[in-house]
């Protein structure tokens, strides 16, 4: 674009005495440059430049309007997102509260279920308080015409040297469920239910002198597994030569120097018993 300076001016108003032709000529604007009157080409270039500038300004205005509209739309979207985020935050808080409540309920139910299971185990073991398990009686001896309670009572009286005057009543007796084993295998145990708990305790106390049959208390598998965990502690007590008793359900009582110790945890019992010096070893060390 050619750089030039244009001056547009009007002449002074003509006097009234001039003709109309001169008046019309004087009213026509004159376009001048610094070097003189502007040519038609320069005027055309100027008009084109002004039209292009007008078009650019109009385009800029449209773009600004579009940007303004987009900004308004974006602002509305941001507002909607913030509103939804606030709702989601409230829902998240609600879900977290519900989850915490569910966890508390689950912990309570787990604890309550454990307590119920302990009660069921206690009831089952109490129902077996008068039971004994007899191992070693051959298969087929029941075929002599005697019922199982009568047969077991006769065997107990013969093996334990019980007098005829001692009243031991066996309510029921039967072998454990399962197929009958071959003659070369171990016979099935006999489960007997006594009428009185004192008879059971007396039979268990006298059963330590037997050799060809063994008599044990009858209890649930879970309780038997828990009591079995105290086997190392009981062996340690026998090695130390101290008195002990495994009480119901799973409590090991030990007497050390006239002082009684009670253990419910087998590992704790082993740790405490290992701290006790071995009396037998001490006596061997004292010998010359």
Tens digit of pLDDT at every position of the chain (288 positions): 344 444 444 444 444 444 444 444 444 445 555 555 667 888 888 888 888 888 889 889 888 988 988 888 888 888 888 777 777 777 777 888 889 999 999 999 999 999 999 899 889 988 898 999 999 888 888 776 566 788 888 888 888 877 666 788 889 998 888 898 998 899 999 999 999 989 988 888 888 767 678 888 888 888 889 999 999 999 999 998 888 989 888 999 998 888 889 999 999 999 999 988 765 454 444 444
Topology annotation, domain 129-218: Alpha-Beta Plaits (3.30.70)
Residues 103, 176: Cα–Cα separation, whole Å: 44
Sign for the CA dihedral angle at 246, 251, 252, 258 comes to negative
Q: Is the CB of residue 218 less than 8 Å from the CB of residue 135? A: no
Rg (CA), the chain: 56
Q: What is the pLDDT of residue 92?
A: 78
Residues 253, 250: Cα–Cα separation, whole Å: 10
- CA 54 vs CA 31, 49, 58, 155: distances in Å: 21, 9, 6, 126
Q: What is the pLDDT of residue 102?
A: 92
Residues 26, 114: Cα–Cα separation, whole Å: 116
E strand residue ranges, 101-258 = 131-135, 170-175, 190-194, 214-217, 243-247, 251-256
Asked whether the bond before 158 is cis by omega within 30 degrees of 0, the reply is no
Q: Is the CB of residue 38 less than 8 Å from the CB of residue 16? A: no
Q: Long-range contacts made by residues 36-40, C-beta under 8 angstroms, separation at least 24?
A: 38/4, 38/6
- Residue 250's nearest CA partner among 278, 230, 232 is 230
Residues 148, 170: Cα–Cα separation, whole Å: 9
Residues 152, 174: Cα–Cα separation, whole Å: 10
Largest separation between any pair of C-alpha atoms in the chain: 173
Residues 250, 267: Cα–Cα separation, whole Å: 13
The secondary element (H helix, E strand) that includes residue 41 is: helix 40-127
Q: What is the pLDDT of residue 69?
A: 87
3-state secondary structure of 199: helix
Domain boundaries, the chain: 81-124, 129-218, 220-277
Class of domain 220-277 as given by CATH: alpha beta
Torsion angle defined by CA atoms of residues 191, 196, 200 and 206, in that order, rounded to the nearest 10 degrees: -130
Q: What is the pLDDT of residue 277?
A: 78
Q: What is the pLDDT of residue 278?
A: 66
Q: What is the pLDDT of residue 9?
A: 42
């Amino acid at each position: 674009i050619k750089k030039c300076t244009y001056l547009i001016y009007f002449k002074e108003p003509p006097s009234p005495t001039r003709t109309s032709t001169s008046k019309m000529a004087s009213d026509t604007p004159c376009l001048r440059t610094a070097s003189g009157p502007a040519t038609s080409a320069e005027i055309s270039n100027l008009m084109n430049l002004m039209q292009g500038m007008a078009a650019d300004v109009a385009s800029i205005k449209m773009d600004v309007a579009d940007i303004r509209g987009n900004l308004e739309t974006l602002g509305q979207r941001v507002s909607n997102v913030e509103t939804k985020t606030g709702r989601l935050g409230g829902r998240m808080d609600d879900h977290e509260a519900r989850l915490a409540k569910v966890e508390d309920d689950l912990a309570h139910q787990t604890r309550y279920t454990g307590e119920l299971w302990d009660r069921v185990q206690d009831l089952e073991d109490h129902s077996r308080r008068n039971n004994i398990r007899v191992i070693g009686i051959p298969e087929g001896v029941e075929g002599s015409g005697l019922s199982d309670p009568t047969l077991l009572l006769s065997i107990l009286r013969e093996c334990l040297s019980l007098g005829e005057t001692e009243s031991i009543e066996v309510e029921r007796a039967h072998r454990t469920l399962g197929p009958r084993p071959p003659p070369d295998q171990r016979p099935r145990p006999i489960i007997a239910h006594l009428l009185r708990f004192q008879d059971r305790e007396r039979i268990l106390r006298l059963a330590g002198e037997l050799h060809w049959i063994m008599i044990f208390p009858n209890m649930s598998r879970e309780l038997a597994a828990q009591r079995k965990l105290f086997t190392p502690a009981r062996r340690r007590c026998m090695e130390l030569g101290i008195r002990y008793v495994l009480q119901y359900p799973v409590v090991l009582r030990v007497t050390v120097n006239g002082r009684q110790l009670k253990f419910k945890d087998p590992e704790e019992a082993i740790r405490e018993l290992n701290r006790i010096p071995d009396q037998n070893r001490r006596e061997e060390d004292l010998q010359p």
